[in-house]
Structure 1
Amino acid sequence: MTIEAVIFDIGNVLIEWQPERFYDTIMPREDRKAMFAEIDLHGMNDQIDRGADFRDTVYAWAERHPRWRGPIRHWHDSWIEMASPEIPHSVTMLRRLRARGVPVFALTNFGIGSFAQAKTRYDFLSEFDRAYVSGHMGVIKPEPRIYEMVEEDSGIAPERLLFTDDRHDNIAAAALRGWKVHRFDGPEGWAARLLAEGLLKPEDIAQ
C-alpha cells in the first residue's frame, strides 16, 4: 500500500522534551523530585496542550503552589530552554522527504502559545505540509478523535499514513485506526523504516 503522507510527532522526535532534565539544571535534584511528586506538572501541560492559555495556566498553578512558585513559572518563562535541543538527523529526514515530494505532516500535543514560541526558535516547524497541533484542535493524543480529525482534514485513508511517535500509547491508538506506525526510539531506526518503505534513498539518510 502506497504511503501518501508521513506524520511526525515533535517532542522527542524532532525536539528533545525532558522537563525533569531541565529542572535538574536550575534546582537541586532532590527538590525537583519533590516538586514533581507533589504537583502534576505534566497534567498542567496537558491543559495547555488542549488549548488553555500558556502563561495564564502556568502562573495559576504557580500561585496554587507557593512553595514552588518560582520553579513552576519557569515552565513558561524558560520554556524554550526546556524544549531543546533539536534532533538534527530527524530534521534532515523531514526535509529529505519533502525534497522527494512526500507530503510531511506534524501531529503533536502542543499548546497554542508554546507552539508559536517554538516556531521562533525552530524554523523547520514551519516546513510541514500540514501541522496538526492539539492546542488548536482541542483534543490530545492518544484520544481517538485527534486521529480521526487528521483523516478528515487530509482526506487520506488511514492505511496510507505512516506515523512516528515516541510514546507507545500514541502509536497504539493510531494503529487501531489502521495507520502504519513506527515507535520512535532514535533517528537511526526511523531512517531504516523510511528506507524500507521506499520513501527515502540511502544517500538521504546519511548523517
Structure 2
Amino acid sequence: MAAKIDHIVFDIGKVLIHYDPNLPYSRIIPDEAERQWFFANVCTHEWNLEQDRGRKWEDAEALLIADHPAHADNIHAFRTYWHEMVPHAYDGSVAIMEGLIGKGRDVTMLTNFAADTFVQARKMFPFLDKPRGVTVSGEIGLIKPDVAIYEKHARDFGLTPEATIFIDDSYPNVEGARAAGWQAVHFKDPETLRKDLIAHGIDI
C-alpha cells in the first residue's frame, strides 16, 4: 500500500503555465518549414536545456552564432521574446495548487528553468510565490530527470521521499522522481490531475 502523502511537489512549465516557443517565432520566422528547421538545427531543445542547467544566455547565444552567424538575430530573439512563450497560466492546475495550500497541505515546486527567466516568470505569475518554496534547475546546476535534483529538493525542504508526490508533464521526469523514491503522476490536464490526487488519498 502506498504511503500517506505529506508533501506535494509541482513542476511549472506545461503544468502551471503554458510554454510554446512557436508563439513568438511564428511571427519571427513565418515560414513553417524554415521555423521547424531552425528549432531542429539552431535553437534546439537540447540547447535550451543547457540554460535550464545554468548556462548563461550570453554564452549560449555566442556558441550558436559562431556556428550560425546568418541566424544571429533569430538566435537573440529566443531570450528577447521569451515572455511571449509563456502567455498564460493553466487556471485549473493553479486552482488545484492554491486549494491544496489553502487546506494547509505542504506544497513546493521543482522546475527545469533558466535562473533569469524564472525571475521574470515570478513577476508575470504571482501565484508562483504561494508554495513554500521552489528548486530552480538553473540556480543549482542540476536538471530533471537526474535523481540528484530530486534528492536535493527533498533535503532542502525536509521531504520524506515515500510521502512525497510529484506532478510533471514529462514522463522521464516522472520516472526520475520515482527513481528517487517519490510517488509521482504524469500530468495530462487539470481534471486528470484532480482524479490522480484523489486516488492517492489527497482531499481536493
Provide the residue aligned with 2:165 in structure 1. Answer: 162
Q: CA deviation at 1:149?
A: 0.5
Provide the residue aligned with 2:76 in structure 1. Answer: 73
Calculate percent identity across the aligned residue pairs: 34
Q: 1:43 to 1:57 in 2, by over 3 A?
A: farther
Provide the residue aligned with 2:199 in structure 1. Answer: 196
Whether 1:45 and 2:43 are equivalent positions in the alignment is no
Distance in 1, Cα, partners of 2:185 & 2:4: 16
Whether 1:184 and 2:183 are equivalent positions in the alignment is no
TM (norm. structure 1) is 0.90
Structure 1 segment 96-175 matched on structure 2, within 5 A: 96-175=99-178
Q: Secondary structure at the match of 1:24?
A: helix
Distance in 2, Cα, partners of 1:103 & 1:169: 24
Q: Is the 8 A contact 2:65 2:75 kept in 1?
A: no
Provide the residue aligned with 1:204 in structure 2. Answer: none
Q: Secondary structure at the match of 2:28?
A: coil
Equivalent pairs, count: 200
Q: 1:57 to 1:128 in 2, by over 3 A?
A: farther
Q: Secondary structure at the match of 1:140?
A: coil
* C-alpha distance after superposition, 1:117-164 (max 9, x if no partner): 111101111112020110111100011110110121122221110101
Ranges in structure 1 where 5+ consecutive residues have no aligned partner: 202-207
* C-alpha distance after superposition, 1:157-191 (max 9, x if no partner): 21110101011111111112221110001111101
Q: Is the 8 A contact 1:62 1:73 kept in 2?
A: no
TM (norm. structure 2) is 0.91
Ranges in structure 2 where 5+ consecutive residues have no aligned partner: none
Whether 1:8 and 2:21 are equivalent positions in the alignment is no
Letter in 2 for 1:151: A
Q: Secondary structure at the match of 1:139?
A: coil
After superposing the two structures, state which structure 1 stretch, 161-170 or 31-40, moved more. Answer: 31-40
* C-alpha distance after superposition, 1:35-86 (max 9, x if no partner): 12222522221221111223x1353245222222222212110101112321
Q: Is the 8 A contact 1:106 1:132 kept in 2?
A: yes
Q: Is the 8 A contact 1:3 1:161 kept in 2?
A: yes
After superposing the two structures, state which structure 1 stretch, 188-197 or 113-122, moved more. Answer: 188-197
Q: CA deviation at 1:14?
A: 0.6
CA-based RMSD of the aligned residues comes to 1.6
